[in-house]
């Protein structure tokens, strides 16, 4: 009984001691008026407080000053209480919601005409654009009109709610006048000119009619009189003036002048097509081998017997018999490149023939061909028993080409469409693929893939 009474007395004493600890202590004021600016929560200092305990999403963070800066992105529910020695902790403040977000750095800074454009964070209130060290706010300042010149530009995103981005890297922007095209001429019925490398497209005026090279095809030049001028255009630079007017007369007797580079394998046996005339009839020809004198470096013409050439369907062919003669020269003189001049009643053509010792599918015609935007383009192959598989690259589809009898035809509709989709493009590069078999030493065979490239130039 005495033991029970003793325990009761001790418990009562402990309770009284615990209750007496806060007796007579004042409670610190509750923090009020919490304000949120971007990622910082602040309020007026509490009198007699030594520190503050912020509770953010259930995690306590202790500070000595009446503010807290959150550094990790996220959404936070925050409240705070004041703590001071000799005082009861204050009550927690009311809850505030804080969204912490870092704005992304602007990208894709470039010129559109004389206007600076860029991609920016959609949550930004505005952007600070620094041009040659001078800052302009996109909402409150008038950006200067750029005069032709070079500018160093960087941009940052700013906001009253979110954390400002860093400045972008400095970008050099050149705003300048384009030069009009030069060396304008009509060659083989096709308009040629030297363009400003910064031009995106051109306006071509022919006898008063304007053609936009992004969407329109310049017609072939048939015999007649033409007045031609061209101006350079761009979405980035200042358009040029029109070039000087070129007045030209195209005569029906004007000769076509071309250059070609062909390949012929030592293991091939076909007659090599040298040139095909699409708009003129050919009925006369002369063929010369061009030989450089080793001492004088002069080029001498050696006539090739016309028995080694013939015309079929307006195409001039070089017979395999003469190509076999070149093979003999190649073996004796170790010469593998031969240059010729073909002269016909319709044109003059410089032709280089490269002899190769490959016994695999190859393209014997030009690998790089310039389009006139009116005719299909044709490439010739010697297959050596391999099978054609496909042409790929630059969005070409099965319906855009035909392969038959060793001839690959790229349709002009595909060529026009592809160049119009990107007016700044200068060429289209395509990959062709063949599958064949080769014999192993043990008499078995294995499959092999052959790849090559062709180019269509504007």
All structural domains of the chain with their residue ranges? 27-100, 107-175, 182-250, 255-359, 368-458
Each residue of 148-183: pLDDT tens digit?
888 999 999 999 999 999 999 999 988 888 999 999
Grade residue 372 by pLDDT with cuts at 50, 70 and 90: confident
Instruction: Give residue 423's pLDDT.
Output: 79
**What does the pLDDT average to over 310-322?**
93
- pLDDT at residue 3 is higher than 80: no
- pLDDT at residue 209 is higher than 70: yes
Instruction: Give residue 444's pLDDT.
Output: 81
Higher pLDDT, 135 or 438: 135
**What does the pLDDT average to over 112-135?**
92
CATH classification of 182-250 is 2.80.10, yes or no? no
Each residue of 237-265: pLDDT tens digit?
888 999 999 999 888 667 788 999 999 99
Q: Which CATH class is domain 368-458?
A: mainly beta
**What does the pLDDT average to over 335-347?**
88
- pLDDT at residue 351 is higher than 90: yes
Instruction: Give residue 365's pLDDT.
Output: 94
**What does the pLDDT average to over 384-401?**
94
CATH classification of 255-359 is 2.60.40, yes or no? yes
Instruction: Give residue 102's pLDDT.
Output: 96
Percentage of the chain beyond pLDDT 70 is 94
Lowest mean pLDDT among 155-164, 274-283, 366-375, 392-401: 274-283
Sheet holding 315-318, edge to edge: 272-276, 315-318, 309-312
* CATH node for 107-175: 2.60.40
Instruction: Give residue 2's pLDDT.
Output: 44
Mean pLDDT of the chain: 89
Each residue of 10-44: pLDDT tens digit?
444 444 444 444 457 899 999 999 999 999 999 99
Grade residue 8 by pLDDT with cuts at 50, 70 and 90: very low
The yes-or-no answer to whether 27-100 and 107-175 have a common fold is: yes
Q: Which CATH class is domain 27-100?
A: mainly beta
- pLDDT at residue 366 is higher than 90: yes
Instruction: Give residue 81's pLDDT.
Output: 96
**What does the pLDDT average to over 118-137?**
95
Instruction: Give residue 238's pLDDT.
Output: 85
Each residue of 412-452: pLDDT tens digit?
999 999 998 887 888 999 999 999 888 777 778 888 999 99
Question: What is the SS3 assignment for the chain?
Answer: CHHHHHHHHHHHHHHHHHHHCCCCCCECCCCCCCEEECCEEECCCCCCCCEEEEEECCEEEEECCCEEECCCCEEEEEEEEEECCCCECCCCCCCEEEEECECCCCEEEEEECCEEEEECCCCCCEEEEEECCEEEECCCCCCCCCCCEEEEEEEEEECCCCECCCCCCCEEEEECECCCCEEEEEECCEEEEECCCCCCEEEEEECCEEEECCCCCCCCCCCEEEEEEEEEECCCCECCCCCCCEEEEECCCCCEEEEEEEEEECCCCCCEEEEECCCCCCCCEEEEEEEECCCCCCEEEEECCHHHEEEECCEEEECHHHHHHHHHHHHHHCCCEEEEEEEECCEEEEEEEEEECCCCCEECCCCEEECCCCCCEEEEEECCCCEEEEEECCCCCHHHEEEECCEEEECHHHHHHHHHHCCCCCEEEEEEEEEEEEECCCCCEEEEEEEEEEEEEC
**What does the pLDDT average to over 265-270?**
92
**What does the pLDDT average to over 121-141?**
95
Instruction: Give residue 23's pLDDT.
Output: 55
**What does the pLDDT average to over 295-311?**
90
């Amino acid at each position: 009984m005495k033991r029970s009474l003793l325990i009761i007395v001790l418990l009562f004493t402990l309770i009284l001691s615990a209750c007496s600890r806060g007796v007579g202590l004042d409670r610190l004021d509750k923090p009020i008026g919490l304000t949120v600016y971007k990622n910082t929560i602040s309020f007026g200092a509490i009198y007699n407080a030594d520190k503050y305990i912020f509770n953010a999403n259930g995690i306590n963070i202790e500070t000595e000053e009446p503010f807290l800066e959150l550094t990790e992105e996220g959404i936070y529910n925050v409240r705070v209480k004041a703590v001071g020695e000799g005082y009861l902790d204050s009550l927690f403040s009311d809850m505030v919601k804080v969204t912490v977000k870092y704005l992304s750095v602007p990208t894709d800074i470039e010129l559109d005409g004389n206007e600076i454009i860029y991609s920016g964070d959609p949550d930004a209130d505005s952007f600070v654009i620094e041009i040659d060290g001078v800052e302009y706010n996109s909402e409150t300042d008038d950006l200067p009109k750029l005069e032709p010149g070079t500018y160093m530009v960087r941009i940052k995103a700013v906001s009253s709610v979110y954390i400002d981005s860093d400045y972008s890297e400095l970008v050099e922007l050149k705003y300048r006048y384009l030069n009009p095209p030069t060396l304008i001429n009509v060659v083989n019925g096709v308009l040629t000119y030297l363009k400003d490398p910064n031009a995106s497209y051109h306006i071509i005026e022919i006898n008063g009619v304007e053609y936009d090279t992004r969407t329109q095809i310049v017609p072939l030049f048939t015999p007649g009189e033409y007045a031609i001028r061209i101006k350079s255009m761009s979405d980035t630079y200042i358009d040029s003036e029109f070039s000087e007017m070129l007045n030209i007369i195209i005569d029906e007797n004007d000769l076509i002048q071309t250059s070609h580079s062909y390949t012929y394998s030592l293991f091939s046996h076909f007659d090599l097509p040298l040139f095909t005339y699409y708009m003129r009839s050919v009925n006369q020809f002369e063929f010369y081998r061009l030989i450089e004198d080793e001492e004088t470096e002069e080029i001498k013409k050696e006539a090739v017997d016309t028995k080694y050439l013939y015309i079929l369907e307006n195409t001039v062919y070089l017979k395999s018999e003469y190509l076999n003669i070149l093979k003999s020269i190649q073996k004796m003189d170790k010469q593998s490149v031969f240059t010729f001049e073909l002269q016909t009643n319709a044109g003059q053509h410089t032709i280089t023939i490269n002899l190769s010792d490959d016994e695999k599918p190859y393209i014997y015609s030009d690998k790089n061909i310039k389009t006139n935007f009116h005719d299909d383009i044709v490439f010739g192959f010697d297959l050596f028993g391999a099978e054609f598989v496909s042409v790929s690259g630059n969005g070409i589809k099965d319906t855009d080409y035909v392969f038959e009898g060793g001839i690959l035809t790229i349709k002009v509709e595909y060529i026009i469409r592809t160049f119009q989709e990107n007016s700044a493009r200068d060429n289209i590069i395509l990959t062709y693929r063949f599958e064949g078999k080769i014999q192993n030493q043990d008499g078995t065979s294995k499959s092999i893939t052959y790849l090559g490239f062709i180019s269509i130039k504007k």
